[in-house]
Amino acid sequence: MKKENRLEFGIKAKTGELYLLTKKERILTIEILKLALATSGGRAFLLERFGKEGPRLAASLLEEMGVQISLPQGQKLRTFS
């Protein structure tokens, strides 16, 4: 396997699937999630698509990927197993 194609991060779905992301895919995922949480439209989409837990899921995933974020006042991050 070439060095530039090395996989750097994996995500395991609740169904047991394992997703491997390249460095560029990981950076893209992080930026999309940060943008979704930072904008009212992004948070509205997360709420509409995933319910109340949507923003917390996004924040939890970012933290799993090593990104420290702060949620809007009053919201607490809930961890998922």
Residue reference for tokens 């047991």 = 16
CA distance 51 to 27: 25
Backbone angles phi, psi at 20, to 5 degrees: -110, 130
pLDDT tens for each residue of the chain, 81 residues long: 344 555 456 666 667 777 788 889 999 999 999 999 999 999 999 999 999 999 999 999 899 888 887 655 655 544 343
What are the Cα distances from residue 34, in Å, to 6, 18, 78? 24, 22, 17
Q: What are the sequence ranges of the domains in the chain?
A: 7-64
Decide: 38 and 59 in contact? Cβ < 8 Å: no
